[in-house]
Amino acid sequence: MQIAITGGGGFLASMLVRRLLESGVAGKPVTRIVTIDLVPCPVQDPRVESIVSDVADPNTLARAITTDTHAIVHLAAVVSGQAEADFDLGMRVNIDATRALLEHARALGTKPRFVFTSSVAAFGGTLPERVQDDTRTLPQSSYGVQKVIGELLVGDYTRKGYIDGITLRVPTISVRPGAPNKAASSFASGIIREPLAGVEAVCPVSPELRMWLQSPDRAIDNLAHALEVDGALLGNDRTVNLPGLSVSVGSMIEALRTAAGDAVTKLIRYEPDPAVERIVASWPNDFETVRARALGFVADEDYVSVVRAHMARMGMTSTAAQNPPT
């Protein structure tokens, strides 16, 4: 089985590459993965080809995605804060590149599985206490609008028989390793990741603000599962709200305290940023994910477990975390 992954230099993509190489898809081994990104995929394996290029480049698509490609996972995107600040860049990457990828898949004539990652930013405005599977989208940011357009395109290309598409509305991922990015939700990882490393972190939103979260491990579980879900079970509605955790920022910090001690949480300071709070507060913070769970998608147990999983990934113990480096 051959798979193409856009955004292949990112941490989620590299985790997914490793998972697919180890576990395959629906019992079938993955023999080749081609990644496309402006930075190389860090996974070193003879079955992985990393193409450093623009995802919308026709020559790149022709090289990376052929009639032998069984599935395409589209992770490449301009993130929320950056898409809001640079409208043209967001439109070019989040819409134009997605359309180019879909058109290339259409031209193959092989109807590959197409996994598109959307976001809770698809929602906004007046929302129910818990978002339902049939709650209408009303994005309040350019990023959200761009993601909804991608969702609709995936649905229509599937309806026409060009692809076998599925869109996952992914909760905010926490805890992301590495450096902060330009996503409005970047702090949701920074307030955990940086203090654990002995670095001061700024929280730009109020502790009462709630978020819909998912760990990297569950995100990879769900991305891998999306490659296996029977399209007949999805029917005409190809967009799925993924399960997650509804957690306040204050509760996230308390979970960090539980997992790592008081000294770590003392490295967090509140410094309000109204622009960030406005964007993040417009997103829904709780979902009723009956359909996703019935399809086999999964959520984390609790946020303390998420913090501890990140610590384990970083090779940290609770004792070490309570005495962070200075």
Asked if 199 and 266 count as a contact pair (C-beta separation under 8 A), the reply is no
Strands (E), the chain: 2-6, 32-37, 48-52, 69-74, 113-119, 164-170, 172-173, 201-203, 210-214, 239-241, 245-248, 268-270
Kindly report the number of other CB atoms within 10 A of residue 30's CB atom. Answer: 21
Please give the Cα distance from 163 to 101 (Å, whole number): 11
Q: Give 288: exposed, middle or buried? Use CB within 10 Å, 0-12, 13-18, 19+.
A: middle
Tell me the Ramachandran region of residue 188: left when phi exceeds 0, alpha when psi lies from -120 to 50, beta otherwise. alpha
Phi, psi of 173, rounded to the nearest 5 degrees: -85, 125
Please give the Cα distance from 324 to 267 (Å, whole number): 10
CA angle 156, 149, 239 (to 5 degrees): 60
Phi, psi of 34, rounded to the nearest 5 degrees: -110, 125
Please give the Cα distance from 163 to 152 (Å, whole number): 13
Asked if 109 and 152 count as a contact pair (C-beta separation under 8 A), the reply is no
Q: How many residues does the chain have?
A: 326
Token pair for 245: 């955790």
Is residue 157 among the annotated active site residues? no
Which of 143, 157, 162, 303 is the catalytic position? 143
- What does each C-alpha distance from 191 to 41, 112, 130, 157, 255 come to in angstroms? 27, 39, 26, 40, 11
Active site residues per annotation: 143
